[in-house]
Chain A
Amino acid sequence: MATVGRALLILALAVAAYGIFASIYGARSGRPDWVVSGRRAVYAIAALVTGAFAILEVAFLRSDFTFATVAAHSSTTTPTFYRAAAAWSSQEGSLLLWLWLLSLWASLVLFLTRRTLRRVAPYATAVLLGFAAFFTGLLVFLETPFGLSAVVPLEGNGLNPLLRHPSMTIHPPMLYSGYTLFAIPFAFAVGALITRQVGAADWIRSTRRFALAAWFFLGIGILLGARWSYAELGWGGYWAWDPVENASLLPWLTGTAFLHSLMLQEKRGMLKIWNVSLVLATGILAVLGTFLVRSGILDSIHAFGASTLGVPFVILIGLLVASSIGLVVWRREALRSENKLDSPLSREAIFLANNLVLVAMAFIVFWGTFWPLIAEAITGTRRALGPPWFDRYTVPLAIVLVLLSGIGPVIAWRRATPSNARRNFLVPGLVALGAGALLAAFGAADKPLALAMFVCGAFVVGSVGQEFWRGVGVRRAMTGQGPLGALVSLVARNRRRYGGYLVHVGMAVLFIGVAASTAFNAARDIRMAPGQSVRVGGYDFTYVKPTSAISTTSSGELEKISFGAVVDVRRDGTKITTLRPERGYFPSLDGEGLGAIGRFFEGEATSEIGLKAGMRRDLWTAMTPDIRGLLPTIREGDRVFKAAGGKLSPEVQARALGAALTGLVNRYVTDPPPATFRIITSPLVTWIWLGAIVVFIGALIAMWPGGDAARRRVRAGYAARVAQDLAREDLARV
């Protein structure tokens, strides 16, 4: 089936090239038949790539090692659940996933806009097909997922153990959904610029939901990555300002900015140059994000690809940047604002400030991420900027951002009078001041930046709470419903508004969690033998006893050896919990060079953390056993098995190896060496995950399409009023 897979990709490349021609020819000659044919090319690519992706997935699920990529990234010992996800752990598989998602999302948007945007859509189709052609070209000429193994191995290399975490199975599809969905507003913005329709409201209306979906999926992807980092990487943090993390954050920041500023263009015809630049920049940053993960150009714990793709990606990004700038300059006349800011005391002004803060953050993240390359170009030495550098600039900006997200909901569009603003800010202001005073009294004043974040977060909760309270009051007065019914109908009838408010609350909660867990955590690295204790953050951690285990797959093959610890946690003598951190050792396939037993300790090793998560505090620990004491035994075992090589039947050898490994893990328990523990007590980490869930619920509400009937009903009242005015004026003229 590898041949079929390869043929499908070659066909997809040809179809993409044809589709670009058909769309542009159709648009330029005004021939709808060619435009439709170009659009169908996108559907055809979606079908072809779906077929190719299915072939690859089946190969992974069946452990078909005739596929070189399956042999390199999976094994029969990889659990089935992870085998399905192993496809996108490879360079070629992840590029295929990107292409597949792009083709599906592009098909959806082109299907939905097939009867509208007749001038813009053909050019957008050509741009989307251009992206598809680029990625298909990479898959056909540089990184084929359908290459065959020169010699078919009996066993594959297996999935990188670090990726054996549930969130890692969903993280890449979410991230790539975000990236590919951001290609849609990019493509339509290019189409709008080419056709001079950039000021038009309909392309914004048609693609805004896709932009929001991109923001939503990318956000989930970023969050899952943070969760994986916290639970799997063994360093105890969720964000390290790593280049690959930053690469996903960049389009998310600019995407957040344009989701806000698009409203200004839609309502007031303002900020057109700014908006279209943000849309284009976000699309380019999404491609840059893929490039950073896959090229290996910057050192990252997350970069799983070595570079053969650097040059084509640099050419693509250069082309996108140059053509975007060229288009904006070319159409600058059509991008003039129709209105000016009425007042600095208006929601428009707050949106503008929010945009400036978000773009400033994006610029700082971009600068810090690429500084190693810039420094290398200037000084010849590659120097990375660490978390303190990023924190110095992003923390104050994040505080301002949270504050603005509280001001936005309570300030009116166009112009708010000072007296009105005072009335609306009173309750949120009091909530913020009250929370600040209370927290300062409990010692938060020692960390002024964290305190500022808590105060701003409380302000957001107060302002959004007030909005919901008043909105429910209005609904109750209008309909006579109970509080719950009024709340549901309020949100249902104003999804964008109240979904957006929920997003603001979720972000505030998330940032409160980040501020608390960063400013008030306690961490310690300590070497302990069983029976020893250490006090961290007011908790006593005692290494009670070691543990060890051999894990096998369902088919009885050895998957990993684990050495762990039972850690008792007490506070003031009262038992709080028992933690069980582990270190898992996955065998290397190099049995000859590393020894029959030694290979189990020379492969990949991962940390399984011990975690007690709570609303107030997380108790987190990871351990690394000191296995140096076991090395003489391991080497002796290797020598014995080497000497016996060929003399024992495979069954006898397997039994002997099993017995030797069992003896080794038993010895770890009966004669335990000391282990190094990393212990962290960190407040409000759970608030980060809960805040994110609230953000995503809010985004879902804002995205959820309203029924046509409901929309018509709501619109009818306003239409009637305006039509009445118009009729009155017409009559007066007569």
Chain B
Amino acid sequence: MEVGSLLIIVVVLCAVVALLYGPLRTRGAAVRDESADRIAELEARKEAKYREIRDAEMDMRTGKLSDQDFRILDRQLRAEAMEILRALDEEAPDAGGDHRLG
């Protein structure tokens, strides 16, 4: 094997070891943040629900839903969104309702 090739391989090997070992040097505490996962999930659900409300409004404006159908659907969707916000309130009471602002 040529010296140049060997040198390249050694340098690459060192770089890879440094890259992989970097996070392990500062031993992180074991974390099982169930709450953070739950909040992330609820945030995703909230966004999906807002999108659904928006789609319903677009459907009404473009004539796919009558005003009456829209009112019923919109009420139902907003009630579902409120459920999610309530769950977020319970999950993250310290947030002071920030998630309600979108």
Q: Pick the residue among A3, A8, A36, A415 that contacts B12 (CB under 8 A).
A: A8
Q: Pick the residue among B13, B48, B97 that contacts A11 (CB under 8 A).
A: B13
Residues in A whose Cβ lies below 8 Å from that of B50: 715, 718-719, 722
B91 at the interface (CB under 8 A from A): no
Q: Are B100 and A723 in contact (CB under 8 A)?
A: yes
A314 at the interface (CB under 8 A from B): no
Which of B2, B5, B63 is the most central at the interface, judged by chain A CB atoms within 10 Å of its CB?
Answer: B63
**Complex interface bits, A1-34 against B, C-beta within 8 A gives 1, otherwise 0:** 1011001100100010011001000000111111
Q: Are B63 and A725 in contact (CB under 8 A)?
A: no
CA gap between A530 and B12 in the complex, in Å? 65
CA gap between A276 and B40 in the complex, in Å? 20
Residues in B whose Cβ lies below 8 Å from that of A415: 69, 73
A470 at the interface (CB under 8 A from B): yes
Residues in B whose Cβ lies below 8 Å from that of A116: 40
> How many of chain B's residues touch chain A, expressed as a range?
35 or more
B71 at the interface (CB under 8 A from A): no
A43 at the interface (CB under 8 A from B): yes
Residues facing B in A173-232 (CB within 8 A) are 197, 200-202, 204-205
Q: Are B40 and A117 in contact (CB under 8 A)?
A: yes
CA gap between A267 and B53 in the complex, in Å? 10
**Complex interface bits, A109-135 against B, C-beta within 8 A gives 1, otherwise 0:** 000000011110000000000000000
CA gap between A273 and B44 in the complex, in Å? 20
In the complex, how many angstroms separate the beta carbon of B84 from the nearest chain A beta carbon? 9
CA gap between A37 and B26 in the complex, in Å? 12
CA gap between A492 and B64 in the complex, in Å? 21
A266 at the interface (CB under 8 A from B): yes
Q: Pick the residue among B24, B33, B55 that contacts A33 (CB under 8 A).
A: B24
Residues facing B in A91-116 (CB within 8 A) are 116
The chain A residue sitting closest to B79, CB to CB, is A725
Q: Are A424 and B63 in contact (CB under 8 A)?
A: yes
Q: Pick the residue among B1, B53, B54 that contacts A3 (CB under 8 A).
A: B1
In the complex, how many angstroms separate the beta carbon of A415 from the nearest chain B beta carbon? 7
In the complex, how many angstroms separate the beta carbon of A409 from the nearest chain B beta carbon? 9
The chain B residue sitting closest to A716, CB to CB, is B102
B95 at the interface (CB under 8 A from A): no
Q: Are A34 and B2 in contact (CB under 8 A)?
A: no
Q: Pick the residue among A8, A119, A494, A716 that contacts B101 (CB under 8 A).
A: A716
Given A8-B12, A11-B12, A716-B101, A417:B40 Cβ within 8 A: no
Q: Are B44 and A200 in contact (CB under 8 A)?
A: yes
Residues in A whose Cβ lies below 8 Å from that of B37: 118-119, 197
CA gap between A412 and B53 in the complex, in Å? 12
A721 at the interface (CB under 8 A from B): yes
Which of B2, B23, B59, B85 is the most central at the interface, judged by chain A CB atoms within 10 Å of its CB?
Answer: B23
Q: Are B23 and A417 in contact (CB under 8 A)?
A: no
Residues in A whose Cβ lies below 8 Å from that of B64: 410-412, 416, 420, 424
A414 at the interface (CB under 8 A from B): yes
Which of B9, B16, B82 is the most central at the interface, judged by chain A CB atoms within 10 Å of its CB?
Answer: B16
Q: Are A44 and B82 in contact (CB under 8 A)?
A: no
Q: Are A40 and B22 in contact (CB under 8 A)?
A: yes
A58 at the interface (CB under 8 A from B): no
Given A11-B16, A33-B27, A48-B12, A413:B52 Cβ within 8 A: yes
Residues facing B in A114-162 (CB within 8 A) are 116-119
A423 at the interface (CB under 8 A from B): yes
A467 at the interface (CB under 8 A from B): yes
Q: Are B101 and A723 in contact (CB under 8 A)?
A: yes
**Complex interface bits, B54-79 against A, C-beta within 8 A gives 1, otherwise 0:** 11101101111110010001000010
Residues in A whose Cβ lies below 8 Å from that of B102: 712, 715-716, 718-720
A445 at the interface (CB under 8 A from B): no
Q: Pick the residue among A37, A118, A471 that contacts B62 (CB under 8 A).
A: A471
CA gap between A412 and B77 in the complex, in Å? 14
CA gap between A291 and B36 in the complex, in Å? 41
In the complex, how many angstroms separate the beta carbon of B100 from the nearest chain A beta carbon? 4
Q: Pick the residue among A8, A30, A712 that contacts B31 (CB under 8 A).
A: A30
In the complex, how many angstroms separate the beta carbon of A217 from the nearest chain B beta carbon? 26
Residues in A whose Cβ lies below 8 Å from that of B16: 11, 15, 44, 48
Residues in A whose Cβ lies below 8 Å from that of B90: none
The chain A residue sitting closest to B13, CB to CB, is A11
Given A7-B9, A200-B41, A718:B54 Cβ within 8 A: yes
Given A44-B16, A118-B37, A715-B47, A494:B86 Cβ within 8 A: no
A627 at the interface (CB under 8 A from B): no
Q: Pick the residue among B8, B19, B54, B100 that contacts A44 (CB under 8 A).
A: B19
The chain A residue sitting closest to B6, CB to CB, is A3
In the complex, how many angstroms separate the beta carbon of A50 from the nearest chain B beta carbon? 12
Q: Pick the residue among A30, A411, A420, A714 that contacts B54 (CB under 8 A).
A: A714
Given A15-B20, A470-B62, A715-B47, A413:B55 Cβ within 8 A: yes
In the complex, how many angstroms separate the beta carbon of A144 from the nearest chain B beta carbon? 16
Q: Pick the residue among A22, A41, A44, A722 that contacts B81 (CB under 8 A).
A: A722
CA gap between A386 and B22 in the complex, in Å? 57
A729 at the interface (CB under 8 A from B): yes
Chain B residues with CB under 8 Å of chain A are: 1-2, 5, 8-9, 12-13, 16, 19-24, 26-28, 30-33, 36-37, 40-41, 43-45, 47-48, 50-56, 58-59, 61-66, 69, 73, 78, 81-82, 85-86, 97, 100-102
> What are some 13 contacts across the A-B interface (CB < 8 A)?
A4-B5, A32-B23, A36-B23, A41-B20, A118-B40, A205-B47, A410-B64, A413-B73, A416-B65, A420-B64, A467-B62, A474-B58, A718-B50
Given A118-B40, A420-B66; 19 other pairs, CB 8 A cutoff = A1-B5, A7-B5, A7-B9, A8-B12, A31-B31, A33-B23, A37-B22, A40-B19, A116-B40, A205-B47, A412-B65, A413-B55, A413-B59, A497-B58, A722-B78, A722-B82, A723-B85, A723-B100, A726-B85
Closest 7 CB pairs of A and B: A719-B102, A202-B44, A201-B44, A33-B28, A36-B23, A723-B100, A470-B62
